[in-house]
Chain A
Amino acid sequence: MSGAVLTITSLKKSVPGGRVLFEDLNLGLQAGEFVAIMGESGVGKSTLLNLIAGLDQADDGTIAINGVDLAGLGDDARTLLRRDHIGFVFQAFHILPHLTLGQNVALPLVLQQAPGDEALARAREMMEAVGLGGRAEDYPRQLSGGELQRVAIARALVHRPGLLLADEPTGNLDPETATRVLKVFADQVRRSGAAAVLVTHSEVAAAVADRTLTLTGAGLVERHGR
Chain B
Amino acid sequence: MAARGVSLAARWMILGEWRAHPMRVVTAGVAIAIGVALGLAVHLINASALSEFSRAVSTVNGDAELQVRSVAPAGFDERLYPRLARLPGVGVASPVVELKAMTARPGEQITVLGLDVLRAAAVTPSLIGRPVTADGEGAHGPTNDAPFDEDAIYLSEGALEGRAIGQPIVLTAGGRTATFRIAGVAPGIGEGRKVAVLDIAAAQWRLGEIGRLQRIDLKLAEGVDEGRMRQAIAAALPAEAQLVTRDSEARRSDSLSRAYRVNLDMLALMALLTGGFLVYSAQSLSVARRRPQFALLRVLGVRRQALLAQVLVEGISVGLAGGLAGLALGFGLARGALALLGGDLGGGYFGDARPELVFSPTAAIIFLVLGLLTAVVGSLAPAREAARAQPAVALKNAGDAVDPRVSPPIWPALVLLVAGGAAALAPAIGGIPLLGYASMALLLAGGVAAMPWIARMLLGPVRRLSLRWAAVDLAFKRLWGAPSQAAVALCGIVASTSLMVAMAVMVSSFRGSVDDWLQQLLPADLYMRVDAAGAGGGFDPKAQAALAATPGVARIVFQKTTSLMLAADQPPLAVVVRPMNGHDRPPMIGGPLEPPAGETPIWVSEPAAWLYGWKPGQRIVLPIRGAQRFFVAGVWRDYSRQHGAVSLDATDYTRLTGDHWRTEASVDVVEGNSPKQVTEALRARLPADIAPRVTFAEPATLRAFALQIFDRSFAVTYGLEAIAILVGLAGVAATVSAQTLARTKEFGMLRHLGVTQRQVVAMLITEGALLGAVGVVAGIGLGLIMSQVLLHVVNPQSFHWTMETKLPWVLLASVALALVASAAGTALLAGRRALSADAVRAVREDW
By a beta-carbon cutoff of 8 Å, the part of chain A in contact with chain B is 50, 53, 55-56, 75-76, 79-80, 82-84, 88, 90, 92-99, 103, 107-114, 116, 141, 145, 172
Q: Out of A95, A96, A114, which one reaches B13, CB within 8 Å?
A: A96
Give A101 Cβ to nearest chain B Cβ, in Å.
12
CA distance A107 to B301 in the complex (A): 10
Those of B275-317 within 8 Å (CB) of chain A: 292-293, 296-304
Q: Out of A50, A56, A82, A107, which one reaches B9, CB within 8 Å?
A: A107
B5 adjacent to A114 (CB under 8 Å): yes
Q: Out of A79, A82, A112, A141, which one reaches B5, CB within 8 Å?
A: A112
A84 adjacent to B301 (CB under 8 Å): yes
Those of B1-45 within 8 Å (CB) of chain A: 1-2, 4-6, 8-9, 12-13, 16-17, 19-20
A-B contact sample (5 more), CB < 8 A, given A79-B303, A112-B2: A93-B846, A98-B16, A103-B16, A111-B302, A114-B5
- Say whether B395 faces chain A, with CB atoms less than 8 Å apart: yes
- Say whether B411 faces chain A, with CB atoms less than 8 Å apart: no
By a beta-carbon cutoff of 8 Å, the part of chain B in contact with chain A is 1-2, 4-6, 8-9, 12-13, 16-17, 19-20, 292-293, 296-304, 390-392, 395, 844-847
A79 adjacent to B846 (CB under 8 Å): no
CA distance A42 to B205 in the complex (A): 109
Enumerate chain A residues within 8 angstroms of B4, measured Cβ to Cβ: 113
B300 adjacent to A98 (CB under 8 Å): no
A88 adjacent to B5 (CB under 8 Å): no
A116 adjacent to B300 (CB under 8 Å): no
CA distance A119 to B847 in the complex (A): 25
Q: Out of A92, A93, A95, A110, which one reaches B12, CB within 8 Å?
A: A110
B12 adjacent to A94 (CB under 8 Å): no
CA distance A97 to B847 in the complex (A): 8
Q: Given A50-B392, A110-B8, A145-B844: A97 and B20 within 8 A (CB)?
A: yes
Enumerate chain B residues within 8 angstroms of A50, measured Cβ to Cβ: 392
CA distance A80 to B305 in the complex (A): 13
Q: Which residue of B lies closest to A80 (CB)?
A: B301
Enumerate chain B residues within 8 angstroms of A79, measured Cβ to Cβ: 298, 301-304
Q: Given A56-B392, A110-B5, A111-B5: A98 and B298 within 8 A (CB)?
A: no
Enumerate chain B residues within 8 angstroms of A56, measured Cβ to Cβ: 392
CA distance A107 to B2 in the complex (A): 13
Q: Given A82-B300, A108-B301: A96 and B391 within 8 A (CB)?
A: no
Which interface residue of B9, B298, B302, B847 has the most chain A CB atoms within 10 A?
Answer: B9
Q: Which residue of A lies closest to B20 (CB)?
A: A98
Q: Which residue of B lies closest to A109 (CB)?
A: B5
Enumerate chain B residues within 8 angstroms of A110, measured Cβ to Cβ: 5, 8-9, 12
A76 adjacent to B303 (CB under 8 Å): yes
Q: Which residue of B lies closest to A156 (CB)?
A: B300
Give B3 Cβ to nearest chain A Cβ, in Å.
8
Q: Out of B9, B19, B293, B391, which one reaches A111, CB within 8 Å?
A: B9
Give A117 Cβ to nearest chain B Cβ, in Å.
11
A99 adjacent to B16 (CB under 8 Å): yes
CA distance A116 to B299 in the complex (A): 20
Enumerate chain B residues within 8 angstroms of A94, measured Cβ to Cβ: 292-293, 296, 395, 846
Enumerate chain A residues within 8 angstroms of B395, measured Cβ to Cβ: 90, 94
Give B292 Cβ to nearest chain A Cβ, in Å.
7
CA distance A151 to B17 in the complex (A): 20
CA distance A93 to B391 in the complex (A): 15
Q: Which residue of A lies closest to B300 (CB)?
A: A108
A96 adjacent to B5 (CB under 8 Å): no
Give B530 Cβ to nearest chain A Cβ, in Å.
73
Give B387 Cβ to nearest chain A Cβ, in Å.
10
Enumerate chain B residues within 8 angstroms of A83, measured Cβ to Cβ: 300-302
CA distance A103 to B17 in the complex (A): 13
CA distance A145 to B293 in the complex (A): 18
A99 adjacent to B12 (CB under 8 Å): yes
